Amino acid sequence: MTSNQIVPDLADKGVYIASVSSFYGVLQQAGQLTRRGKAKFPVHQKPEAVVATRPNQVWSWDITYLRSTILGVFFYLYMIVDIYSRKIVGWDVFETEDSEHASGLFYKAYLREGITGDDLLLHSDNGSPMKGATMLATLQKLGVAPSFSLPGVSNDNPYSEALFKTLKYQSVYPQRPFDSVEEARLWVADFTEWYNEIHRHSEIKFVTPCQRHRGEGIDILAQRRQLYEQMKKESPARWSGDVRNWQPGEEVSLNPGKPVQDRINLKAA
């Protein structure tokens, strides 16, 4: 019996000896904290870290709900983001969650981005559209390595989750549900244009995702640093230290959340 159970059990009998933490300390000193049950604690190896140093190296994707005007009925927004540049490289809205929808969307994005070689990795959670036969077959055909979140971990797909938060917390996000898939697609198209080409993303030093994706962000950030250095030279009293760091991040990491041996690698299949 654990200390969490001993204390209330005694209390039910009208007895109070010590707090749960005090009991825990006594049991620990007595060597009584060894697990006696048949079930073993799971042993998790440190997950493999994936690092992107350029666009079109690691993509992340997920599905989020969009409310419809019919109570209990939702539309499903599929969205793929490049974790290095944060550019939305593919999206669509459907009435169902389906591996075939995901496969078609990914294939179009793959062609549109002009991917060559077999060094692209696609990260997602463990939903059925992500692990569906059609989707996995497409990835295998294209030589794309899939990566999946750790089961039961809700925040193991951070780039897609952050993107959906940005989408739904926009002041222009519709307060009323969408009447149709077509209406939802029109709104998402406008959002994507704004996000990719206008939105200055805080995690990439406030350049737009497309600027970073196209490689323009390096020159833009260099110009900013030159401006700051010039302003410091002209008015040194306004600066207590170095100018703001406008150096572009050279790499973006993603922890896929699964041990190496448990990841599905279709390229080796």
**Residue 151 has what pLDDT?**
64
| Contact indicator for 133, 249 with CB cutoff of 8 Å | no
**Residue 61 has what pLDDT?**
96
Q: What is the CATH number of domain 50-202+252-268?
A: 3.30.420.10
**Residue 238 has what pLDDT?**
86
Sign of CA dihedral 158, 99, 112, 123: positive
Whether 174 has a pLDDT exceeding 90, the answer reads: yes
Mean pLDDT throughout 174-200? 97
Q: Residues near 139 by Cβ (< 8 Å), separated by ≥ 6? A: 106, 122, 145, 146, 266
Residue with tokens 């995901």: 102
Delimit the domains of the chain by residue range: 1-33, 50-202+252-268
Whether 13 has a pLDDT exceeding 60, the answer reads: no
Mean pLDDT throughout 213-228? 95
% the chain with pLDDT above 70: 78
For the ranges 148-152, 160-164, 242-246, 252-256, the maximum mean pLDDT occurs at 160-164
Tell me the per-residue pLDDT of 143-166, one tens digit each, with 9 for 90 and over. 999 998 876 555 578 999 999 999
Q: Residues near 193 by Cβ (< 8 Å), separated by ≥ 6? A: none
**Residue 12 has what pLDDT?**
42
Tell me the per-residue pLDDT of 19-68, one tens digit each, with 9 for 90 and over. 646 667 777 777 776 554 444 444 444 446 789 999 999 999 999 999 99
The burial class, CB within 10 Å (0-12 / 13-18 / 19+), for 63 is buried
Residue with tokens 């299949």: 269
How many CB atoms neighbour CB 47 within 10 A?
19
pTM (2 d.p.): 0.77
Average pLDDT, the chain: 83
| Contact indicator for 82, 56 with CB cutoff of 8 Å | yes
| Contact indicator for 134, 99 with CB cutoff of 8 Å | yes
